Structure 1
Amino acid sequence: MFVFQEQIEENLPLFNARYDEAITDSREAHHFVPDTPGKIKITLGKDEPGTIQTFVIPHSHMDVGWVYTVQESMQAYAANVYTTVTEELLKGRQRKFIAVEQEFFRLWWDSVATDTQKLQVRNLLKEGRLEFIIGGQVMHDEAVTELDDQILQLTEGHGFLYETFGVRPQYSWHVDPFGASATTPVVFALAGFNAHLISRIDYDLKDDMQQNKKLQFVWRGSPSLGQQQDIFTHTMDQFSYCTPSYLPFSNRSGFYWNGVALFPSPPEDGIYPNMSLPVSSDSLHLYAKTMADNIKERAAWFRTNHVLWPWILKSSESTSSYDLYILVTSSGLSYRRYRIMLETSPCSNESDCLPTYVGRVVKFDRQIVNKSKKQGVRLLPVMNECYTLRLDQDTNLLNSITDRDTGRTVKATQDFLEYHANGDVQQGPISDNYIFTSNGPAVSVSKAVGMEIVIGKLVTEIRQHFYRKETDKDYSYVVYTRLYNVPAEYDGKMLCHRLEQEYKVGPLELNREAVLRTYTDLKNEKTIFTDNNGYQVLKRQYKAYMNNTVARNYYPLVRTAYIEDDSTRIVLLSERSHGVSSQDNGQVEVMLHRRLWNNQEWNLGYNLTLNDTSVVRPVFWLMLGSKPVTSALYPRSGLALEHRPVVMLLDIPEKPSVKSWPEGHSRVHAEPVSLPPNLHIQSLSIPGWRYSSNHSEQLRDIQQDFDRVLLRIMHLYEVEEDPVLSLPAAINLKDLLSGLGTVASVEERSLTGTWDLSELNRWKWRTSQKEDKGLRTDQRVDSPGRSTGFGQLKNRYPCCCGELGRDTFFLTVFLLRYFTRTRITPYSFPVTDEY
């Protein structure tokens, strides 16, 4: 997936306090922690007004899978980081270090660390000289990751840390993700963090924040949330780890991190001190004046720590900036299961056949795509109960879609286009893994289109084949569009209100980036709405830039994107992340595939040219309708697409044998449970089980506490998004989870489950803010008189048998303990509602 040019920094992911001068094998790299304490006082000259305190933060950030695999990274350098850091911390009680990603630390802990080193780590943690920051498996990407995965990887890491060391991370260190999503501060606040640090944001935005002293702020990631989800956020300044590229460097390393010096101005003689020597007070002396000048310059970009800038950044105010699968056997909570018997012999006539056998294929002649040809004369309707599609038989392209609920017809057609990319750095900007830079507008690649329609009782499929040349034997692109005919006895509102499209794209020609563009007559003024990590939708208005305007108007599509006019909306739902844009009025285009090569030394050295000759088959669901109808349907439809039911070919006996249940666990049958339409079971898992780096070993040997489950319930709608569905919804957890056994108690927990909310006291901030749209903490309606059936809770909480609203929590987490339990598969897994 590409990210956008203005968000790219040319420096490498960096390590602090790393000593690797003149080494030939990175396995020899040794991590030093400075003799100097983490807080350095630099006294200025006599004419200076005072003293500036500098805080040096020795830390690690190691990508879990980049150009090397996790195993290769462990062998090359990652294991040695923790070995040498532990060694160096023991050399002075004033030395401190923060560790970020748990994947590498766990591997070191499980397979490398000795008993002595483990004891040393425990002591360092107790003394506060080693600290875990973020605490997830990785420093997750913010642009294209999905909310479920973010929560899962964070939960894995937090569970390990709490079980192993009894510690709970309280701060983030997001120095490396490209861009800053508004979802991240929400997730971190709900996980119990007190502060958040970001770095790689749009250069222009960061410059504006520096000039206006806005690098520090209190961030509220959603308009639906209140003060209890605010989080203090610090933005690293423009220099971040490195100096401006125009400054000269000597042959000797300065403060050297992967070859990039730290401070923006060299000493007066233009030569940095030789940092190949151990870091000491003497070796730091020559740096002190330069460092002081630099920090003094940076200090002007921030308010003092006594008067923090009183401002809340709401995502809606800055819109342009920002599986494993399992067969769920929990009674009452799984998908409905259908058993389809297949015939073993051909049907004698159509009336004897099951619907899976009924299908009539109608083929159409290949048509030349010619804009000058008269169109819209011979239109073929294809319909179900919700939509009528009209196909132009003179082009074999889509002509229009009619929403049968409202009678509104939208002119709509689709085409594949390609952006041409430059591959020679001497000829101008290039496209690669990180950057999308086109040579010009996208070019239509199809000269002819073939079509056939397969008509069935349950599904009608339209197949369109796109050819580069009129005489080509093989097609280059395919669109499969499916309309579902819902049986009368089935509640298929969501099924009826979607056009399922599957594409076949590739292999591409070299230096091509393929998009599917949908043209409509909606007057959207080139404005598109896209989601952040499958959580919330933001408005993206088209902007013109001095350079690379096409790419800078692309945004991540993780699950949802739509365009709209005053009355009608067209929604795209995706099962994976893409780039999406509205480059012209009424248009929406999605990047589907890329094949690139360039001669940039960096890309060649790390194999980042993306010379991908594969064929991809992405799937989208399209929805057309009024704003109220699509608002009600797209959140649940997006989840249904992402967590599609598993279709399995099995030989199931008529009376399957029942294996004995573990001692102390009963088998409970419960009636199916339907949640209110604005709530979603985000996950159901068994918390607190011991982690092993060997997953197979973990599943085999783990001793789960089957008496506890961690339940996350998510409200799907923002405040004021829908007049009805945005309201709190009533649920009864006793009824909801009756299929798991008899509930003994319920606790409300932090997002990752490690904090009881009654014990979590996060930092609070006094800000000059507007009145909240949602409820404040002290406005939550308690229900002390209601009978929950869960026994006595530590704290009264209305959601046990009451109302759950997005304005209090977008995601509420419960820890439930059972007297008796049914058996549940020992993974953390997503459970979806009935679709």
Structure 2
Amino acid sequence: MQKCITILSLLYSLLKYGETACYYSSNACPQVEKDFLNVHIVPHSHDDVGWLKTVEQYYYGANNSIQNAGVQYIYDSVLEELWKDPEKKFVSVEMEFFSHWWKEQSSHMKRKTHKVVERGQLEFVGGGWCMNDEAAAMYVDIVDQMTLGLKFINDTFGDCAAPKAVWQIDPFGHSREQASIFAQMGFEYLFLGRIDYQDKAARLSNREMEMTWVASDSLNTSIFTGVLYNTYSPPPGFCFDILCGDETIVDDPDSPMFNIDRRSKQLVAYILEQSKHYKTNNIIITMGEDFHYQNAHTWYKNLDKLIKYINKVYFNSNIRLFYSTPSCYGEAVKNAFVEALPRKTDDFFPYASDPHAYWTGYFTSRPTFKGLVRHSSNLLRACKQIQTMAVKRRSNVLFQFQRSQAIAQHHDAVTGTAKQHVNNDYLLRLDQGIRSCSKIFSESFNHLLSLNGSTMRQEYCTMLNISQCWTTEQNAPFIVTLYNPVTIRSSHTVRIPVTDGSYAVTDHEGRLVASQMVPIAEAVLRLPGRNSTATNELVFIAEDLPPLGLRSYHVQTPEGKPGRRMLRSRSRTIKLPNEKDVTVSAYGLSLTFDRHTGQLIQVGNEMFQQQLLFYRGMSGNNSQFEFRASGAYIFRPNGTEALPLQPVTKLTTIFGPIVTEIRQHISANTMQIFRLHRNASYIELDWILGPIPIEDGIGKEYISRFTVPAIRNNGTFYTDSNGREVLERQLNHQATYKLNITEPTAGNFYPVNSFAYVEDKLTKMRMTVLNDRAQGVSSLLPGSLEFMIHRRLLHDDAFGVGEALNETAYGVGLAARGTHWLTLGNSETVARFLAQRMVHPPILMFAPTTFSAEEFRQSYRMELALINRDLPPNVNLLTLEPWDDEGRVLVRFEHFYGVGEDERFSHPVTISLKDLFPTLKIQSVEEVNLAANRHIRIVNADELVLNPMEIRTLIVST
């Protein structure tokens, strides 16, 4: 029977994905003429998934006092025009909006839409849930949001409608990893709107606006990439939307307003000028802007007149205009190239739009939201794993969380560049997703762990980041269940907010676990909005958590005596200045702090400095380039020197058997905590900042600077790209154009999602700093890395958002808390493994109980692995989620080391899916592309080879 099922599954896949007559792909493109200048007119609307209005306001056309925009009317209007004239075309990008429109349509309208898609008139480009940001988004979230949108297209219109082109016209700079992801998804053409103004000028001059982007050092990925001439706007004076005021086209010769001859000359002049900067006889003219085509008739009627007139009058000039699409244009250019395309191997960061507008501030803007996006990403990943193992079916609850996380990747969401009320909506959506995921966890844990049908309601504490959890503060005993979402055994330090008292922690085998009581830091206790009775944190080490596994711990307050194996921390406070430097040693590591400043000055035997500093934000009215203000998008400091915060007033040292802390007291609301762990070789820096003071009328941009004087890096540093491959950065230098840097500080900041490092090539000494959310980073001083961690500014930077980045919460300026991990040495392996650990920490769930530890063990399994064996340490289970209602499962495995990156781990590995998951009985395995919308092959589940940096995507039938 098993063999029959496998064969039937194979036949199904071959029938479904075999060669089909997608006659509306290349056959739908207009024929280009070899001896003509072919002008591809591309009607489009750029529809932000939230920016000045919320997602729903944009869709329904509400709150038009802010912006006249209603996406539902765009699709209503465009589809009518496409249906009437098969020559007309339009492109659709964001599936968040199109899917919303689709579900509201009648069956008749759906049939008409199918037809215009089949005719190639409505072309999906990109096709993700949104047009994601490329600096602050992690690769797993990019892959997920693209997969969500492309699955909708595939399920609705079939795999023949899969997009061939990507339309990244508005993100503020472009990453190499993003290009690699697109190439792995099977896209053929990538079009960009925004690149640095100096880069663009050089490309226009050299006719290098189109290139082959080689997007990986480890993978054979490349993609044809074109830079649009006018970002994505129409030629000046040729915007025919109801939102525009440009002169309409009058082609009646009897009218006193007749102007088509003059207007055609203007457009032809523009076309000829643009064509000088491109190498083939094909150019693209973008006809659209933000939320255009609510009345598509006005656009198409004017364009029809221009196309008809110019094609007739300028026929002998060999100019020909026609409606086209990005994929048709890309195909025409590739076919017309007679020489090799220029190659690009780096990325397009940082992006500057003028000499004083470096868009590097958004790498850090709204740091708490960026932290939430990272946090919810890990939670969603774990939630999908648990749902797959326990239920094996998709659910609307899970889909809504996926949708919220996808929306958060939009280039005005995770970037922190939306209006405050819009950002509040993003926060609300993620909060709802997190709470729904908590219910999935609770139900699934009961299903997986209950031995006798008994149930307990487990809660996910959303405020653990401020040391607050009602369940642990109000109940004893209670259960804490950890879910380890990675496929290797790992150990983690658990911190649980509790009230004063004594606690005993019992593990799955009934053993008492060593624990430590640590006072909660004063700056945390004073965080705005904190509403908690907890004054301490119970700390213990969860040793050897099973891979993809669950383990519960029983925590109770022993009656009448302190809990065995629980120790209170020993602490002392040292006022500054002190008689001598303060050295704290624990678990084989030592830190030394300056007797006067309280700053960290030495790690072990290595001279080292960590400083909390700030840049003063530039004020300005933005009337000219030199008056540009620092704002949500733009980082523009007033001066190149970073200034110190007020000095450290005292140091508090806290010693214990599990964790040792050194707390720098800077002000009532600002503190840094250096933490040494018994089970870790890195140094943790926990920072609490805010509200940033603005009483002096000056906005401020806070940085954390790490310096090793012995490292001579000569202005070179390294950052990840969306959390994956590493790129070399060089101060004041760009590989593809001569850089004249007019903002020496802001112009040298780059996005970092996971880690950055500096190293000395001679001594091999390396300093690596890992970050827990997207931030901006640079190495402006020798041997240093400085991470921008918080921003509060008092002026808008005039790029549309219309608000200063003066974020408040609970009636005061925004307070933020975050983490950096620091390592020193010459090991190349540690950063990758630590990054996996930081990005994918265990999920903690809490439940009150009346059971004793022994009674609980009789009613519930306290440990369970959802995978039968550890995967190799350099392999990550990137995706495990329910795929459809047929019980199929989407699985992605990734090799997270690059070629030549490490002697041990940069080699191919082989894994087997056979009996890998205890709750999944695998029938067949189909390999698909990274977006899971194109079939590759049927694969042998017993032997799956992963090469360095390779991600393999599988649809598993169970």
Please state which band the TM-score falls in when normalised by the shorter chain: 0.7 to 0.9
Q: Deviations over 1:213-239 (max 9, x none)?
A: 22111222001122xx32111111356
**What is the match of residue 92 of structure 1?**
85
Alignment of 1:508-519 (within 5 A): 508-510=692-694, 511-519=699-707
SS at match of 2:553: coil
Is the 1:422–1:438 contact (alpha carbons within 8 Å) kept by the matching residues of 2? no
2:917 to 722, 729, 738: 738
Separation in 2, partners of 1:600, 1:317: 25
Choose 516-525 or 152-161, whichever is displaced more.
Answer: 516-525
Q: Does 1:717 align with 2:912?
A: no
Alignment of 1:573-588 (within 5 A): 573-588=770-785
SS at match of 2:846: coil
Is the 2:173–2:348 contact (alpha carbons within 8 Å) kept by the matching residues of 1? no
Q: Quote how far apart the aligned CAs of 1:145 are.
A: 0.6
Separation in 2, partners of 1:651, 1:98: 53
**What is the match of residue 583 of structure 2?**
380
Q: Quote how far apart the aligned CAs of 1:90 are.
A: 1.9
1:482 to 672, 675, 678: 675
Alignment of 1:332-731 (within 5 A): 334-345=547-558, 348=561, 352-355=563-566, 357-367=567-577, 378-385=581-588, 387-402=589-604, 409-425=606-622, 428-440=627-639, 441-467=641-667, 474=668, 476-486=669-679, 496-510=680-694, 511-521=699-709, 522-543=711-732, 545-566=740-761, 567-598=764-795, 606-612=802-808, 613-626=813-826, 629=827, 631-651=828-848, 654=856, 672-688=868-884, 704-706=885-887, 708-731=888-911
**What is the match of residue 60 of structure 2?**
75
Separation in 2, partners of 1:721, 1:258: 55
Q: Deviations over 1:643-701 (max 9, x none)?
A: 21122222466268799xxxxxxxx976642121221111111223xxxxxxxxxxxxx
Q: Quote how far apart the aligned CAs of 1:639 are.
A: 2.1
**What is the match of residue 129 of structure 1?**
121
Gaps of 5+ in 1: 1-36, 43-48, 245-252, 262-271, 369-374, 403-407, 468-473, 487-495, 660-667, 689-703, 759-793, 819-835
Is the 1:39–1:54 contact (alpha carbons within 8 Å) kept by the matching residues of 2? no
**What is the match of residue 295 of structure 1?**
271
Separation in 1, partners of 2:251, 2:664: 67
| Distance verdict in 2 for CA 1:241–1:290, change over 3 Å | same
2:932 to 748, 753, 776: 753
SS at match of 2:98: helix
Is the 1:526–1:587 contact (alpha carbons within 8 Å) kept by the matching residues of 2? no
Is the 1:400–1:413 contact (alpha carbons within 8 Å) kept by the matching residues of 2? no
Separation in 2, partners of 1:354, 1:450: 31
| Distance verdict in 2 for CA 1:607–1:651, change over 3 Å | same
**What is the match of residue 162 of structure 1?**
154
Q: Quote how far apart the aligned CAs of 1:336 are.
A: 4.5
Separation in 2, partners of 1:309, 1:258: 43
Paired AA for residue 741 in structure 1: L
| Distance verdict in 2 for CA 1:68–1:235, change over 3 Å | same
TM-score after normalising by structure 2:
0.64
| Distance verdict in 2 for CA 1:90–1:671, change over 3 Å | closer
**What is the match of residue 786 of structure 1?**
none
Q: Deviations over 1:143-200 (max 9, x none)?
A: 1111111011111111111111113122101111111110122111111211111121
Separation in 2, partners of 1:559, 1:310: 35
Separation in 2, partners of 1:571, 1:599: 34
SS at match of 1:739: coil
Gaps of 5+ in 2: 1-27, 62-69, 253-257, 281-332, 353-375, 390-447, 449-485, 488-546, 734-739
Is the 1:347–1:353 contact (alpha carbons within 8 Å) kept by the matching residues of 2? no
Aligned residues: 654
Q: Deviations over 1:71-116 (max 9, x none)?
A: 11112111111111111112212111111100011111123x2333
Separation in 1, partners of 2:702, 2:29: 50
**What is the match of residue 787 of structure 1?**
none
Q: Quote how far apart the aligned CAs of 1:520 are.
A: 2.2
Separation in 2, partners of 1:276, 1:451: 77
| Distance verdict in 2 for CA 1:164–1:182, change over 3 Å | same
Separation in 2, partners of 1:231, 1:674: 35
Choose 325-334 or 433-442, whichever is displaced more.
Answer: 325-334
Is the 1:500–1:621 contact (alpha carbons within 8 Å) kept by the matching residues of 2? yes
Q: Quote how far apart the aligned CAs of 1:565 are.
A: 1.2
Q: Which structure has more helix as a fraction of its residues?
A: 2
| Distance verdict in 2 for CA 1:258–1:423, change over 3 Å | farther
Q: Quote how far apart the aligned CAs of 1:308 are.
A: 4.9
**What is the match of residue 241 of structure 1?**
233
SS at match of 2:134: coil
| Distance verdict in 2 for CA 1:583–1:191, change over 3 Å | same
SS at match of 1:562: strand
Q: Quote how far apart the aligned CAs of 1:203 are.
A: 1.2
Q: Quote how far apart the aligned CAs of 1:805 are.
A: 0.4
| Distance verdict in 2 for CA 1:595–1:319, change over 3 Å | closer
**What is the match of residue 736 of structure 2?**
none
Separation in 2, partners of 1:214, 1:101: 29
| Distance verdict in 2 for CA 1:336–1:148, change over 3 Å | same
Paired AA for residue 74 in structure 1: Y
Separation in 2, partners of 1:523, 1:347: 59
| Distance verdict in 2 for CA 1:409–1:277, change over 3 Å | farther
Paired AA for residue 277 in structure 2: W
Choose 129-138 or 634-643, whichever is displaced more.
Answer: 634-643
Choose 181-190 or 320-329, whichever is displaced more.
Answer: 320-329
Q: Deviations over 1:734-773 (max 9, x none)?
A: 14x2323332111111112121114xxxxxxxxxxxxxxx
Q: Deviations over 1:773-794 (max 9, x none)?
A: xxxxxxxxxxxxxxxxxxxxx4
SS at match of 1:210: helix
SS at match of 2:815: coil
Separation in 1, partners of 2:571, 2:839: 30
| Distance verdict in 2 for CA 1:314–1:307, change over 3 Å | closer
Is the 1:97–1:129 contact (alpha carbons within 8 Å) kept by the matching residues of 2? yes
SS at match of 1:341: strand
Separation in 1, partners of 2:116, 2:867: 52
Q: Deviations over 1:428-450 (max 9, x none)?
A: 22011111111102211223332
Choose 146-155 or 447-456, whichever is displaced more.
Answer: 447-456
2:340 to 310, 316, 321: 310
| Distance verdict in 2 for CA 1:148–1:41, change over 3 Å | closer
2:168 to 174, 183, 205: 174
**What is the match of residue 956 of structure 2?**
816
Paired AA for residue 873 in structure 2: P
Alignment of 1:18-57 (within 5 A): 51-57=36-42
Separation in 2, partners of 1:578, 1:137: 24
Separation in 2, partners of 1:617, 1:69: 27
| Distance verdict in 2 for CA 1:459–1:123, change over 3 Å | same
| Distance verdict in 2 for CA 1:366–1:211, change over 3 Å | same
Paired AA for residue 200 in structure 1: R
Q: Deviations over 1:394-417 (max 9, x none)?
A: 332211112xxxxx6242332333
